[in-house]
Amino acid sequence: MQAIETMLSTTPNAPKMDRRALHNLIDAALECAATCTACADACLGEANVTPLRRCIRLNTDCADTCGITARILSRTSDGDPEFVRALLEACARICAACAAECQRHAGHHGHCKICAEVCLRCEQQCRKTLRALPISA
């Protein structure tokens, strides 16, 4: 997503974190949101949806959380660092939960295998970005 990187480099209010890390996280969160949405939809298309209920719920929660994370991180002006920290922690947590649930179904559903991998990447990027955040006073 070249446009995100370009936008971040042209903003008058430079983010208080590494732009590359921010770009990577926005990319990962957007990919995760779309993948989780697609996985939930694929789960709903399966013949037996009942065992996939938790997976569908976590997919939709993860998609919403990742989407809002990407949108909030795209706004670099005057953000509250503690809110950003809490948001990234929440995003990492829901990604981990969704990945674990999708992994339970990965043997039977290819869409769940893909989703688990994408969720793990997003979780890792959230945690990496959390470590790179400046410590607030």
> What confidence score (pLDDT) does residue 21 get?
85
**Cα gap 125→35, rounded to integer Å:** 16
**Cα gap 74→76, rounded to integer Å:** 6
**Cα gap 60→34, rounded to integer Å:** 10
Model confidence pTM above 0.85: yes
- Other CB atoms closer than 10 Å to residue 89's CB: what's the count? 13
**AA letter at 8:** L
> What confidence score (pLDDT) does residue 57 get?
98
**AA letter at 72:** I
Question: pLDDT per position in the chain (137 positions), as tens?
Answer: 576 666 566 566 655 667 788 899 999 999 999 999 999 999 999 999 999 999 999 999 999 999 999 999 988 766 788 899 999 999 999 999 999 999 999 999 999 999 999 999 999 999 999 988 776 54
> What confidence score (pLDDT) does residue 137 get?
47
> What confidence score (pLDDT) does residue 79 get?
73
Architecture, CATH, for domain 19-132:
Up-down Bundle (1.20)
